Amino acid sequence: LDHEVTETVDLHGAAQGSRTLSVVGAGRAGTALAVAAAARGWTVRAVSSRDPERARALADAVGARVARVPAEATRAASLTLLTVPDAQLSRVAATIAAAGLALPGRVVAHCSAGRGPEVLGAVRQSGAACGVLHPLQALAGRQSADLLEGSTFNIAGDNGALELLRQFVGDLGGAILEVPAASRALYHAAAVLAGNAPLALLERATSLLIEAGIPHDAAHAALAALLEGAARNARKAGPRRALTGPIARNDADTVRRHLDALADDPDARDLYLRMAYETLALAGRHGHEETAAVLESAAASTGEAEMSTMVA
């Protein structure tokens, strides 16, 4: 560690006080978490990132200092979040360990959904505890900080890490979800389905409106507001009660017209059909038999017989 680093961050006793945070990786998640923590009574002590300009921008926003290397950030706070890309986690942990600092009482956690605490195992050499703190939320930087209140966080880690992670989540107004280590991939797959797949559907739907002659921005604004409304209703009432549209109403003629309108776009028609089956499964087959028959006949005509067995 060079001289300049120790000047940049005054570290003597710097980790005193349990609500102190450092962030390594000043990207989308790190920025949202640091801004939210600062607003909820945590002191953000240090920010380290590969790009010093980016580290400086976040540090200035949350009243923190810049640490030139991750180990210095770690020494400065009780909790350090490594919000770097997943592929960098073990490397950053190794650099923290290689600095040879004594970090008893510190917690180092990453924010990845798919990895366990063991990816940071190297930092245990310095006396720090390892953890995972995965916010189950779409974070796009500072403007996402307020989304964290009311979000769910998956936490895991060494015994010495869990209490502080729980305190952090509680202070941010989040809920805690503990997922068995063996089910981590299932948890992440669920997050991808709920958090990412709807955006792919939004993009597909937008292209249909553009095909109908609607300008891109107007198409996007209209459909994004619809998606937001559906998500908000589903959050309150559950997806089944929140479901609207022709399948919920068993309006089989309308569903048939949609499939006809998509006849020249086989990919979009297949997607519509696949999602219509999912929607029918949500609505329940009972009372929706006419719609089920339209879907089964459409699937049979395109050789997608396997779809027709899905809701049998």
- The span of 130-138, 156-164, 207-215, 228-236 binding ligand NAP (CB under 6 A) equals 130-138
Q: If we measure between CA atoms, which residue out of 92, 114, 94, 106 comes closest to residue 24?
A: 92
The residue within the footprint of ligand NAP, chosen from 10, 50, 170, 257 (CB under 6 A), is 50
For residue 205, CA distances in Å to 202, 228, 230 come to 5, 14, 15
Residue type for position 299: A
Q: If we measure between CA atoms, which residue out of 27, 121, 157 comes closest to residue 167?
A: 157
- The residue sitting closest to ligand NAP, measured at its beta carbon, is 27
Task: Tell me: does residue 24 bind ligand NAP (CB under 6 A).
Answer: yes
Torsion of CA 161, 162, 164, 169, to 10 degrees: 130
> How far is it, in rounded angstroms, from Cα 204 to Cα 223?
10
Task: Tell me: does residue 134 bind ligand NAP (CB under 6 A).
Answer: yes
Q: How many Cα atoms within 13 Å fall on the side-chain side of residue 80? A: 35
CB of residue 145 to ligand NAP, shortest distance in Å? 12
Task: Tell me: does residue 108 bind ligand NAP (CB under 6 A).
Answer: no
CB of residue 118 to ligand NAP, shortest distance in Å? 15
CB of residue 195 to ligand NAP, shortest distance in Å? 8
3-state secondary structure of 15: coil
Q: If we measure between CA atoms, which residue out of 82, 84, 88 comes closest to residue 108?
A: 82
Task: Tell me: does residue 148 bind ligand NAP (CB under 6 A).
Answer: no
The residue within the footprint of ligand NAP, chosen from 112, 126, 279, 291 (CB under 6 A), is 112
Task: Tell me: does residue 117 bind ligand NAP (CB under 6 A).
Answer: no
CB of residue 128 to ligand NAP, shortest distance in Å? 17
Q: For residue 155, report the phi and psi dihedrals to the nearest 5 degrees.
A: -120, 150
CB of residue 248 to ligand NAP, shortest distance in Å? 31
3-state secondary structure of 119: helix
CB of residue 218 to ligand NAP, shortest distance in Å? 27
Length of the chain: 312
Residue type for position 277: Y
Give helix 197-211 / helix 216-237 axis angle, nearest 10°.
140
Determine the straight-line distance between the first and last CA of the chain, rounded to whole angstroms.
65
The residue within the footprint of ligand NAP, chosen from 9, 20, 27, 74 (CB under 6 A), is 27
The residue within the footprint of ligand NAP, chosen from 25, 117, 174, 246 (CB under 6 A), is 25
Task: Tell me: does residue 131 bind ligand NAP (CB under 6 A).
Answer: no
Burial (Cβ within 10 Å: 0-12, 13-18, ≥19) of residue 70? buried
CB of residue 33 to ligand NAP, shortest distance in Å? 9
CB of residue 193 to ligand NAP, shortest distance in Å? 15
> Interaction with ligand NAP in 176-195: which residues (CB under 6 A)?
none
The sign of the torsion formed by the CA atoms of 77, 78, 81, 87 equals positive
Task: Select 34 or 248, whichever has its Cβ closest to ligand NAP.
Answer: 34
> Interaction with ligand NAP in 51-90: which residues (CB under 6 A)?
51, 54, 83-86, 88
Task: Tell me: does residue 111 bind ligand NAP (CB under 6 A).
Answer: yes
Using CB under 6 A as the criterion, which residues of the chain lie in contact with ligand NAP when the complex forms?
Answer: 24-30, 48-51, 54, 83-86, 88, 92, 110-113, 134-135, 138-139
